[in-house]
Amino acid sequence: MKKLAIVLALLLATSVFAQGLAFGVKGGINYATLSGDDVTDASYKLGFAAGAVAAFDVMDMLVIQGEVLYSMKGAAYEGDISTDLTYIEIPVLLKYNIPMAGMIAPNLFIGPSLGILLSAESNDVDIKDNTKTTDFGIVVGAGVDFDLGTGKVTLDARYNYGFSSIVDTPADTDVKNGGISVMVGYLFGI
C-alpha cells in the first residue's frame, strides 16, 4: 500500500510539473519609504529582499505567482535618522506574459501582498510594540523572463503600495509602507 501511495504521489508530481508548475529563488533591492498624512520629510532608504517563488501556468499567457520574501523597508530622514522595518512579505501575483517569439518574454503583473512584521526600529530603539504586525498592500510591476530551456531567469521592477497604516497606537495615525523593488531570480521546472 505504501508503494502504491509513493507511485501515485510521484505521478501526480510529474503531472503537475508537466502542467507548468515552477519553483525558484529571487533577490534584489528595495528602495523603500513611508508615506501618509502623518509622515513628514521621509526619503527613500535602500534595503534588500530575497526569498522563494512558485509559479503556475493557468493559461498560455497567464501565470499565478506566489512569493515568500524577506523584505527590508522603512524610511530615512535628515540628520541620519531612520526607521528600519523587516517583513516576511507574501505577494500573490497575476502575471500576464506578452506574446513574443524567441527566448525573451516580457510580462506585466499585479496582486495583493501581505506583510508579517519581524522587527521595527527607529535609530536602534525597538518600536515593534507600536507597529502593527501585519501590512496589507498591492504590488504592480513589469518584468522580462529569459527562457534557458531547463529554467528561466527573471528580472522585474515593481511598486509596492501599502493600504493600511502600520502604526499601532490609539490615535488614527496614517503611516504606510511603499517603495520600488528591482529583483532577479531563477525558476526551475518550466
Which residues are CB-neighbours of 157 under 8 A, at least 6 positions away?
A: 141, 142, 143, 180, 181, 182, 183
Determine, yes or no, domain membership for 16.
no
Tracing cell 526600529 back to the chain, one arrives at: 121
> Which CATH number characterizes residue 106's domain?
2.40.160.20
* Sequence-ordered strand ranges (E) for 41-150: 45-57, 62-77, 81-97, 104-122, 125-126, 134-147
Determine, yes or no, domain membership for 177.
yes
Determine, yes or no, domain membership for 34.
yes
| Predicted confidence (pLDDT) at residue 18 exceeds the cutoff of 80 | no
Q: Report pTM.
A: 0.84
Determine, yes or no, domain membership for 18.
no
| Predicted confidence (pLDDT) at residue 11 exceeds the cutoff of 90 | no
Quote the domain boundaries for residue 166. 23-188
- What whole-number distance in Å separates Cα of residue 53 and Cα of residue 50? 10
**Total domain count for the chain?**
1
CA proximity to 141, closest of 65, 51, 56, 80 = 65
Q: What is the mean pLDDT of residues 67-88?
A: 94
Determine, yes or no, domain membership for 103.
yes
Q: 3-state class of 44 per DSSP?
A: coil
Determine, yes or no, domain membership for 143.
yes
H or E stretch covering 23? strand 21-35
Determine, yes or no, domain membership for 11.
no
Tracing cell 504590488 back to the chain, one arrives at: 139
For the purposes of burial, counting CB atoms within 10 Å of the CB of 74, is it exposed (0-12), middle (13-18) or buried (19 or more)? buried
Please report how many Cα atoms fall inside a 13 Å half-sphere around the Cα of residue 112, on the Cβ side.
5
Determine, yes or no, domain membership for 7.
no
For the purposes of burial, counting CB atoms within 10 Å of the CB of 41, is it exposed (0-12), middle (13-18) or buried (19 or more)? exposed
Q: pLDDT higher for 110 or 149? A: 110
What is the pLDDT, as a whole number, of residue 10?
Answer: 44
